[in-house]
Structure 1
Amino acid sequence: MNTRNKLVELSYRLAEFKPYHRIKGFFRDLLENPTSRHRMMFDSAMVVLVLSSIAILIYGVKNDLGPVADLFEHIAISLFILEYLLRFWVYNDTHQIVIDYYERAEFLNKPFRLGPVVAEILRKKRDYIFQPMAIIDLLAILPDYRSVRLLRIFLLFRLFKLMRYTRSVNEFTSVLAEKRVELLTLATFLTFVVFSAATAIYIFEVDAPSSEIRTLFDGVYWAFVTLSTVGYGDITPVTYQGRVVAMLLIITGVGVISFFTSIIVSAFSEKLPQVTAHRIYGDFERRSHHTILCGFGRVGRGVACNLSRSRERFLVIDISEERVRLAKQAGYHALQGNAEENTLLMRLNIKNADRILCLTGSDVSNVYITLSARQLNPNIEIIARANSRENEIKLQRAGANHTVAPYETAAQVAAQFVGQPVAFEALYGLLSDISDVSTKAIRVGADAYLVGQPVGVLAFDQCKLLLFGIVREAGSPPASGPRSYRLRERRFYFNPDRSFVLEPEDLLLVFGYADSVAHFKETYALRGSKHFSKFKSKSKSRVKKHG
């Protein structure tokens, strides 16, 4: 078997060797994936290492470092070398280049030659080696040049590749790149002005007595300082002609700075929405148990207001720029985008989200969002808005756990208001912003103390709560006594009596203040504590009293 065949066979073996791809994928994710959680820890550790190395180098300028510092320096250099080699390795897949060339040669019935393959492999590796940051990495690990090793400070621009910092640096770089034509024009003009002013001041000042300009470089230095409007004062013109040049240069400098500032400000104004979006992406990529609210119309605004009052972590997505602006003015996290796109939902970490609310004004959009969300996260809770009754079934089949028909609900509310206006107004005031009272659902866990307990022993009165119903899974045997209503997959028991026994996964529906609900949950979560034992004994005494 010749060298070419061995190389092809090795490449195919690497392509099929899963442990190799798993290891390489891990390091690629660690070093290059900006959304990786391991990346943040790695960057933080490397930043500490780089700063420590720089601190030791600075301290060693006038002090004896000793063997411990030298050992730390060797360890740091070794880690920098290892990092450089790993980045060199994961930059591309060399075996895939061999496979591509071999399969192309087989397809065209041409002989497979090693020359073009090796040239392509070297070209790919050369592309990495000559990247600016790769050059700095290489300079940072040269052990024989302490002054050159101070270039490790530039590693900070790479090692600080956290979501909030690296992206900001990248955004700034991209802003400069987008305005390169304007900046190049400005740089050309500055070069002409500096050279002209330096030449003029050199001609007028070089032979003047007590002049501090002796060379053309002094003139260039003075022109730069004057044009920037800094004016150190270390070099000043002494002739009338030189002072006229200085005045003209100062006026030009003010105009240049204003022009440069306007370029940067306009560029950042255009880039600001993208910068804000990246910050939100970075924030929610690390979050879990959050809510994604799709649509910020009238229904979405009301839901967002309630979520905000409940201190829920949520994000608003809307395709309308105006609605996104309104959401931001209200103090909510908001993004402009199409929630039907899987890429957007993935960047918002839908896999770790608790629920998604599909509240757009289009039933078609709500169906597509529901399908995408259910595909990306089979366990997410989906609440979808249906503008017509016939679309509720479609949304449920698409994967929605619950559907809401706002127009039909509003019609029913209006009918109730016509029949009982005073009672309805009181109830509406209780549940709206007029009152701090709200309805809450308290879930009974499978291992909670509440399981098997009758409603009468629970401290609703003590916690200032009013129990008005219990929701139970439809598969559970119906409880006798309270009036019940059939839901889609559950049953609602209205105003259960004191003997109603709780079961796992029951939902207690209560009226009350948020502090009251928190106190109730805290009371029954303190299992084994003195407070819980004391409360448990009181509950038993109430059972005997009402028995």
Structure 2
Amino acid sequence: MAFSNRIVELSYRLAESGRYHRIKQHVFDLLENPSSRFRVLFDSSMVVLVLTSIAVLIYGVKNDLGPVADVFERFAITIFIIEYLSRFWVYNDNHKIIIDHYERAEFFNKPFQLRPALASILRKKWDYATQPMAVIDLLAILPDYRSIRLLRIFLLFRLFKLMRYTRSVNEFTSVLTEKRIELLTLGTFLAFVVFASATAIYIFEVDAEGSHIKTMFDGIYWAFVTLSTVGYGDITPVTTQGRVVAMVLIVTGIGVISFLTSIIVSAFSEKLPQVTAQRIYGELERRSHHTILCGFGRVGQSVAHHLYQSRERFLVIDINDDNIRKAKQLGYLALSGNAEENELLTRLNIQNAERILCLTGSDVSNVYITLSARQLSPDIEIIARANSRENEIKLQRAGADHTVAPYETAGQVAAQFVGQPVAFEALYGLLTDLDKVGTKVIRVSADSYLIGQPLGILAFEKSKLLLFGIVREAGRPPASGPRSYRLRERRFYFKPDASFVLEPDDLLLVFGYDDSVAHFRETYSLRGPSRFSRLKPGGEKK
């Protein structure tokens, strides 16, 4: 009884130990968590170890490697044992089983019995030990007993260990598992055909002169070879009846292979979208500062084109499969799904994303996406599309940093074109020629030597740049002189003169070639805007 109480006490201590749970979680992430970055490194290392151990085995068949091979083999076996025991440990929580049995006994006012709890633990561990991959792990360890020659054959099971570390093999196995009923039906039919044809060929050929079929095993071997349409030719029927059996078996083999091919192709066609999604999730887990583009309509396609030209890392999300197909044809990373769902955004690693673009054709969807994104990642930059002026305020209240109104903007552009067609056409040509010229933002950092200096000391002309404005935090008093425009959280000064004094975190809005911007930054030790130096959309003119 005292021993049982100690076990219960130890179980409660483990349940309350934060350190124990952290260690176990780290081990679980390393071995089992497909989203863990450490598992990728671990799997890669284990693949190298397994392949190296097999290579050493093959080379050592006819070559004496001496004690080096023994040392390496001991090292590999030690790693395999540690891995097996670690997986055995993290498979379940033994202390929870003991606590559950203890509290159930307390609830019914019965004495606690340790034996049923231990039996439950053993059943759980047995469930793990009898899993196919666990059996393979165990058999891969057995070759350490080199004194028993028969056990050396188990070294081949190390090849099967690669299935645990290679995602492609796991995906292939899962695809076949989902079609197990069809494959079992085909296997049953195949076994019947092989046995029937082997029996028939044995009866017709065993006593025939010149026949190579002497035993039933010869008949089974011939049936397998013929059914697979391989036809080695080492065993051929010599009687008319045997040749008829061969013809029937060949036709049957063609049908079996066709049926098997159709099952596998069908399984992969059904599983392919899920496999693609899992690969994208895994890739995004290792990314940071990427862009999530929600909606691949006309606006989304235009934005995606510009992001692609700028070599930005982005992902397209759309609920329409046709749009996703179009995005993939253009070479974009794309995934079909509803961006309003928190689970999807979480799997897209939104916590480490740079920005999210809500560009669907529905303002309601854009509001929901904005709310979800802001809740999951408070610091992410959110740019949302608004089809009407009334919904811009709703999107901003939902958490959008920027709102764009494509229809209203198109109307303003059309009006400008009517009034100044030549000037507009020239500006439009410059703005759309993204490979050569564009608008850039240059930030004056807080430790820059330019702080407190007049704007006139910057030679924009030498770098072939055009300065058309400076953005400054709205909390500071407005500078006198240049015309300014009030933004949501900042103030924009249009074409300030040479006496304009620079302050920390001022944003210089320049227009010119990319090479010119790079030269200007290098000359004055400046850089682009930080992640949190975001321009806020328009407001009122001063």
Q: Same fold (TM over 0.5)?
A: yes
Spell out, residue by residue over 1:254-284, the C-alpha distance to the aligned partner (whole angstroms, 9 max, x if none): 2221121111112211221112111211111
Does residue 225 of structure 2 align to residue 243 of structure 1?
no
Counterparts of 2:284 and 2:102 in 1: how far apart (Å)? 44
1:380 corresponds to = 380
Counterparts of 1:218 and 1:448 in 2: how far apart (Å)? 87
- 2:96 is paired with a residue of what secondary structure? helix
Structure 1 residue 497: Cα displacement: 2.7
Structure 1 residue 250: Cα displacement: 1.9
Worse overlay, 389-398 or 479-488: 389-398
In structure 2, relative to structure 1, the CA distance for the partners of 1:18 and 1:177 (3 Å cut) is same
Counterparts of 2:243 and 2:519 in 1: how far apart (Å)? 78
1:155 corresponds to = 161
- 1:141 is paired with a residue of what secondary structure? helix
Structure 1 residue 196: Cα displacement: 1.9
AA of the residue aligned to 1:156: L
AA of the residue aligned to 1:330: L
1:60-75 matches, cutoff 5 A: 60-75=60-75
1:542 corresponds to = none
Worse overlay, 140-149 or 120-129: 140-149
CA contact (8 A) 1:396 1:403 kept: yes
Counterparts of 2:127 and 2:446 in 1: how far apart (Å)? 58
CA contact (8 A) 2:443 2:526 kept: no
Counterparts of 1:340 and 1:487 in 2: how far apart (Å)? 29
1:398-437 matches, cutoff 5 A: 398-432=398-432, 436-437=436-437
Structure 1 residue 84: Cα displacement: 1.0
Q: What is the TM-score normalised by the length of structure 2?
A: 0.90
Structure 1 residue 127: Cα displacement: 0.7
Does residue 508 of structure 2 align to residue 508 of structure 1?
yes
Does residue 107 of structure 2 align to residue 101 of structure 1?
no
Worse overlay, 15-24 or 208-217: 208-217
In structure 2, relative to structure 1, the CA distance for the partners of 1:194 and 1:408 (3 Å cut) is same
In structure 2, relative to structure 1, the CA distance for the partners of 1:477 and 1:242 (3 Å cut) is same
CA contact (8 A) 1:324 1:334 kept: yes
1:204-219 matches, cutoff 5 A: 204-219=204-219
2:321 corresponds to = 321
Aligned length: 521
Counterparts of 1:103 and 1:355 in 2: how far apart (Å)? 49
1:232-271 matches, cutoff 5 A: 232-271=232-271
Counterparts of 2:92 and 2:247 in 1: how far apart (Å)? 56
CA contact (8 A) 1:429 1:435 kept: no
Worse overlay, 297-306 or 392-401: 392-401
Counterparts of 1:451 and 1:200 in 2: how far apart (Å)? 97
2:54 corresponds to = 54
Structure 1 residue 459: Cα displacement: 4.9
Spell out, residue by residue over 1:420-439, the C-alpha distance to the aligned partner (whole angstroms, 9 max, x if none): 23322322232235984332
Counterparts of 1:171 and 1:316 in 2: how far apart (Å)? 24
Does residue 292 of structure 2 align to residue 295 of structure 1?
no
2:24 corresponds to = 24
1:539 corresponds to = none
Does residue 194 of structure 2 align to residue 194 of structure 1?
yes
In structure 2, relative to structure 1, the CA distance for the partners of 1:429 and 1:64 (3 Å cut) is same
CA contact (8 A) 2:445 2:526 kept: no
1:146 corresponds to = 152
Counterparts of 1:456 and 1:118 in 2: how far apart (Å)? 82
CA contact (8 A) 2:486 2:492 kept: yes
Counterparts of 1:458 and 1:414 in 2: how far apart (Å)? 36
CA contact (8 A) 1:383 1:400 kept: yes
In structure 2, relative to structure 1, the CA distance for the partners of 1:435 and 1:118 (3 Å cut) is closer
Counterparts of 2:434 and 2:448 in 1: how far apart (Å)? 34
Q: What is the TM-score normalised by the length of structure 1?
A: 0.89
Spell out, residue by residue over 1:400-450, the C-alpha distance to the aligned partner (whole angstroms, 9 max, x if none): 222222233223223323332332232223223598433232333334565
Structure 1 residue 72: Cα displacement: 1.5
2:532 corresponds to = none
AA of the residue aligned to 2:342: N
Spell out, residue by residue over 1:98-120, the C-alpha distance to the aligned partner (whole angstroms, 9 max, x if none): 12222233334444332321221
Counterparts of 2:280 and 2:137 in 1: how far apart (Å)? 31
Counterparts of 1:526 and 1:231 in 2: how far apart (Å)? 74
1:326-365 matches, cutoff 5 A: 326-365=326-365
Structure 1 residue 157: Cα displacement: 1.1
2:538 corresponds to = none
CA contact (8 A) 2:296 2:360 kept: yes
Worse overlay, 148-157 or 492-501: 492-501
Structure 1 residue 47: Cα displacement: 1.7
In structure 2, relative to structure 1, the CA distance for the partners of 1:286 and 1:458 (3 Å cut) is same
Structure 1 residue 455: Cα displacement: 4.0
1:462-501 matches, cutoff 5 A: 462-501=462-501
CA contact (8 A) 1:416 1:424 kept: yes
Structure 1 residue 75: Cα displacement: 1.5
- 1:56 is paired with a residue of what secondary structure? helix
- 2:478 is paired with a residue of what secondary structure? coil
Does residue 120 of structure 2 align to residue 114 of structure 1?
no
Structure 1 residue 294: Cα displacement: 1.1
Spell out, residue by residue over 1:288-329, the C-alpha distance to the aligned partner (whole angstroms, 9 max, x if none): 111011111222122111111111000011112222222222
1:273 corresponds to = 273
Structure 1 residue 135: Cα displacement: 0.9
Counterparts of 1:307 and 1:198 in 2: how far apart (Å)? 64
In structure 2, relative to structure 1, the CA distance for the partners of 1:450 and 1:226 (3 Å cut) is farther
Spell out, residue by residue over 1:320-373, the C-alpha distance to the aligned partner (whole angstroms, 9 max, x if none): 222222222222111111112222112111121111111222233222222222
AA of the residue aligned to 2:33: N
Does residue 80 of structure 2 align to residue 80 of structure 1?
yes
CA contact (8 A) 2:317 2:334 kept: yes
- 1:440 is paired with a residue of what secondary structure? strand
In structure 2, relative to structure 1, the CA distance for the partners of 1:189 and 1:519 (3 Å cut) is farther
Counterparts of 1:52 and 1:171 in 2: how far apart (Å)? 24
AA of the residue aligned to 2:320: S
Counterparts of 2:2 and 2:75 in 1: how far apart (Å)? 42
Structure 1 residue 476: Cα displacement: 3.2
Q: Percent identity?
A: 78
In structure 2, relative to structure 1, the CA distance for the partners of 1:483 and 1:147 (3 Å cut) is same
Question: RMSD between aligned alpha carbons?
Answer: 2.3
AA of the residue aligned to 1:252: T
CA contact (8 A) 1:202 1:219 kept: yes
- 1:442 is paired with a residue of what secondary structure? strand
Structure 1 residue 175: Cα displacement: 1.8
AA of the residue aligned to 1:135: V
Counterparts of 2:308 and 2:121 in 1: how far apart (Å)? 55
1:123 corresponds to = 123
- 1:316 is paired with a residue of what secondary structure? strand
- 2:466 is paired with a residue of what secondary structure? strand
Worse overlay, 296-305 or 422-431: 422-431
Counterparts of 2:434 and 2:125 in 1: how far apart (Å)? 67
- 2:293 is paired with a residue of what secondary structure? strand
1:161-200 matches, cutoff 5 A: 166=167, 168-200=168-200
Worse overlay, 401-410 or 21-30: 401-410
CA contact (8 A) 1:439 1:509 kept: yes
In structure 2, relative to structure 1, the CA distance for the partners of 1:388 and 1:428 (3 Å cut) is same
2:536 corresponds to = none
Worse overlay, 214-223 or 459-468: 459-468
Structure 1 residue 518: Cα displacement: 4.0
- 2:446 is paired with a residue of what secondary structure? coil
